Amino acid sequence: MLLLCSFAMLSAALQWEEAIAIRQGVNIEWFRTGTATNDGGAIYVWSDTKNGERDLWAQKVDANGNMIWNDPVLIDGKPDRQEDPVIAATSDGNYIIAWIDFSDDLDGNVYAQKINNQGQLMWQAGGKPVCTIPSEQLGLNMEADSNGGVFIVWGDSRNTSKDLYAQRLSATGDPLWTVNGIPVANGPGDEIQNTMLPDGQGGMMMAYTHTYASDSDIYAKHFDGNGNMTWTQEMALAVAPGPQTGVRMAAIGNGEFIFTWSDQRNTDTDIYGQKVNIAGQKMWSEPYIVFSDQSATLPAAQSNPRIQSTSDGGAVIVWEDFRLDSQNAELYAQKLNSAGTKLWGEAAIAITTADFSQSGQRMAADNNGGVYIVWDDLRNGNTPNYDIYAQHLSASGEALWTAGGKPICTAPFTQNGGLVKVAGDNIYINWMDARNGSIGIYYQVLDASGNLQLAENGVEVFWGLSGDTPINQYQILARDNDTVIIWQDTRYASEGYRLFFQFLNEDGQTLLETNGRPITLEGLGHQKDAHATVTEDGHIAIVWRDERSGTSTIYAQLISPAGDRLWGDNGMRITETDPLSHKDPRVSYYNNSFYIGWSELEAIGINFSYHVFGQRLVNGEKMWGPNGKVISILTGSSRVHETTLTDIIDDVYVWHKVITAIDEQTIWAKRVDENGDAFAGWPNAGLQTTSMADGIVQLSPTASRSNNGVYVTWRDNRFGPMQYCSQLISPAGERLWGEEGIFLSNSGNEQEYAKTAVAHNGIVTTWCENINGMHDIKAKKLFWDGSDLWSESGYFIVQKDSTQTKPTLVGFDGAGMMTAWVEYFTEDSDIYYNYINADGNVVLDSQGAVLTNAGKSQYDPIGVELNDNAYVIWADGRSSGKTEILGLYAMKVNNESVSVNDPVTPSVMRPTLKQNYPNPFNPHTSIALTMPTNGDIKLKIYNAKGQLVKTLFDGSLEKGEHSFSWDGKDHNGKSVSSGMYFYSAQNAKGTQSRKMILMK
């Protein structure tokens, strides 16, 4: 462990109040949530991440394409995420929205909010809690009651299995049933999928799929307005061999309901149904088959039925049908009257039999016994070319719009998730739309005759950037007065990943378009593995792998100081001939030339091997021929050996060489002249960084420029574990640190993720040291002659009971440095930092300081120095939810921290925090700590997101042993959910933390 000197210090500070979003997506999640309004419009609800974390938004539209509320209304923006909304128009002319909320429970709770036609929130900010019991809640289903409130049903994991719970909210949002809901289906096994409707008499009818031991059946129940089940037991709607799933229902009046579901009691799934009244009676003979072709020579599957009641007391069922194509579904429909008579013939009617698949159907009733149907359609090119089609069926099943379906939106790429609602004479259809690469919400309005009322392909309700920034696909460079940030972006995933860039000035302002500018005007194929360099006058050269031709090829672009593309709208191809494959693009700027390198796959007889190639560009002209020159020259049988480029430092190429036959891997470097030949004094084949051979394995080289030559460090196995070895190579091609190089720390531990920075009197390297399966971070400084300036084995920058990894290192004009790393103190990773002074001592607390601890995980910081400040970028997961979504953020860290050795300042000793007991625990545990002296101490508990749960103690303690008890409750006295928690003891010396598990 690093021994810290006592010092007085001026504490460093993060220079911006908030991290700067370089690339922050909106990432709309469309949950098919919408309703018609009582004034002829429609309201749509979605979640997005435009403010960083996922929030809930709504917009009201009219039949003329207007956004009634101008900007979308924020329904809820509490910390973490709010998602999966449902909406119901209430009987008092307003609207209730419910959602799953993760602000106070990692497993999700249920909240609700009420809004009026003006978009005003009618309940408290943050919504009314519906269920906040510690457990997972999901899969909301909500319908209006007759008193301005709603019934809500959700899946709940508070018990050992997945059950269904329900709540009734009053018009003012108060729970009318037991707080946190009543169990409406909680037998052995799982109950999740359900359907529910009000019964018209103050209660609700529901049905659900019950799964037990891989067998799925369907049951129904009825509840009165007080939450009492009115039947003596649940009704078995479908209990038969094979799975019965996907139950749906329609209310046809007089307390009667028609149910439908997918039923596989035979070989293939069929469509079954039943009529039930609120007295608990089945009204049709059993089994009632809506459609089955089991008697056919080649029976096919019918599945995923949807049902809609009609104005004449019947119901229309639409399902996906494979009778004409076993691979692609068509849509078929049947209408049933109250007596169970099939009104559209035994075979049902085909809504569409177009090419490829039609699915995702939704319906709304007209006023004449018919229905409007919308669906997702692949007829125009198969996946991913989904379009939106619709049809109006009369009461007799006649198609009133275009035969086979009316196109509602056939814009490029994907449109799906269609929803149809009827408001007066207007039929509103809306959908999720990726025509611009990222997700938006669009809508169209039709009259009953099918005439479009808005522009072709619809009107945008809301749109925003989707996708993210992949880890290890970004770079930051410094210019005179700003930084240049380059990254790969998945916003146009349907076209291919593309590269973007942004300028960030010293005040934290981005100077180009929000979320960056593309390096090519068009997206012609995947772009990845960008590498860039900056010239003295502020130009930026970028090279990358490009797949526009079908194979991986190196392209280049030159960006002017103002951000203009100078080597063509779509970049410059580096080779004229089509390669088998290119990878590992690199570029440097030296003596008014751009040196470009890459690894190129070549056929060597019947074998294939990568070799290092290069090109020199002057004023955009290729100096080494149309296809560059081989740099890693191999002759004869050695051409089967593989060489892959890792760095270019000025005019020095560095690569990794593999001799597969003897499992030998070595590191090489070669300086070239202006013609691409070996520089005077350098071997034509390049210089190996050591003279070691005979099966040695050397990996992951990194190279840096120094005043004395090129510094190279790599992972080396000659002493067993992979540990870092270094070499300094002179401009004349000499190994300055001996034939074997110098090991940074022969500790016997695995080492990786090295970063280097050049100081005024030597070179500093940081790396991760694997200790007992967890990374800690060490650093070492070497003088130009290879001697140790700190210690033989290096100093620990941070070492604690958690993983610290992926460090970055920034050197300042003086002897000081800043390092930042990924810290896994909690379940989610954060970015921490510290300063290292000229003696190798850390300046801040030994645990480091928080650079960012935003919600979710942050990864892989990269730093650069500009005007004696450090600028750090990282991949930021604050928008993550169901899947991880990574933005790109930045922070400026100053160089104000100085340290002065002060033997008069007394040493402050840190308390010793012991592991809690028992661990795991439920719900009580004891935490012991030892105070080395009398003093102040804070003992706090955090959840896995790093949020404070409870402060156990904040005050003074005497020297000696102390014990504290935690009962598993937060500062409000509320029991917390099962999971990982952290407790920390903090005094003037620093903070010590440990993990514990609450297991209920």
CATH number at residue 926: 2.60.40.4070
In a domain, 133, yes or no: no
Do the domain assignments include residue 845? yes
Instruction: Tell me the Ramachandran region of residue 747: left when phi exceeds 0, alpha when psi lies from -120 to 50, beta otherwise.
Output: alpha
| Predicted pLDDT of residue 901 | 35
- The residue segments making up the domain with residue 216 are 187-353
Q: Is residue 898 part of a domain?
A: yes
CB contact burial 305-320 (16+ within 10 A = b; e otherwise): bbbbbbebebbbbbbb
Same domain, 773 and 844: yes
Query: Phi, psi (5° rounding) for residue 640?
Result: -75, -15
Distance CA 552, CA 544 (A): 10
The answer to whether residues 826 and 871 belong to one domain is: yes
How far is 115 from 69, CA to CA, in rounded Å?
A: 12
Q: What does the pLDDT read at residue 990?
A: 62
Give the Cα separation of 961 and 932 in Å (integer): 9
Q: For residue 953, count other CB atoms closer than 10 A to its CB.
A: 15
Whichever domain contains 345, its CATH number is: 2.120.10.10
Instruction: Judge residue 34's burial from the number of C-beta atoms within 10 Å of its C-beta, 0-12 exposed, 13-18 middle, 19 or more buried.
Output: buried
Specify the pTM.
0.87
Residue 420 lies in a domain: no
Length of the chain: 1000
Residues 874, 23 contacting (CB under 8 angstroms)? no
Q: End of a domain among 907, 924, 940? A: 907
In a domain, 370, yes or no: no
Same domain, 828 and 918: no
949 and 817 inside one domain: no
How much is the pLDDT for 274? 99
Q: Are residues 717 and 836 in the same domain?
A: no
Give the domain-ending residue among 907, 924, 953. Answer: 907
* Burial of 176: CB neighbours in 10 Å, binned 0-12, 13-18, 19+: middle
Measured CA to CA, the distance from residue 237 to residue 245 in angstroms comes to 11
CA 780 to chain centre: 35
- Residues 222 and 348 grouped into a single domain: yes
* Residue with the two structure tokens 């709504």: 58
Dihedral (CA of 841, 843, 844, 848) sign? negative
Rg (CA), the chain: 33
Quote the pLDDT of residue 943: 84
DSSP state, 904? T
Q: Of 479, 488, 311, which is closest to residue 395 (Cα–Cα)? A: 311
Residue 551 within any structural domain of the chain: no
Query: For residue 98, which amino acid is it?
Result: A
What is the predicted pLDDT for the residue at 897? 52
Q: Chunked in runs of 10, what are the mean pLDDT values of the chain (1000 residues)?
A: 31 81 98 98 98 98 98 96 98 99 94 98 98 96 98 97 98 98 96 97 98 94 98 97 97 98 96 98 97 94 98 98 96 99 98 97 98 98 93 98 98 97 98 95 98 98 96 97 98 90 98 98 92 98 96 98 98 97 98 98 95 98 98 95 98 97 95 98 97 90 94 95 97 97 93 92 94 93 92 90 94 88 91 92 87 95 96 98 97 70 39 83 90 89 82 92 92 86 78 78
The residue type of 401 is W
Q: How far apart are CA 891 and CA 866, in angstroms?
A: 12
| 824, 888: one domain | yes
Same domain, yes or no: 271 and 305: yes
Q: How many domains does the chain have?
A: 4
Q: Which residue, among 819, 832, 780, 776, has the nearest Cα to 799 in the 3D structure?
A: 776
Tell me which of 890, 907, 924 is where a domain ends. Answer: 907
Structure tokens at 248: 């749906």
> Does 465 reside within a domain?
no
Residues 825, 950 within the same domain? no
Q: Are residues 194 and 326 in the same domain?
A: yes
DSSP annotation of 661 reads G
- Strand, coil or helix: 945: coil
Same domain (yes/no): 808, 929 = no
Do 840 and 981 sit in the same domain of this protein? no
Spatial contact of 107 and 135, defined as CB atoms under 8 Å apart: yes
Cα 746 from Cα 748, distance rounded (Å) = 6
Residue 526 included in any domain: no
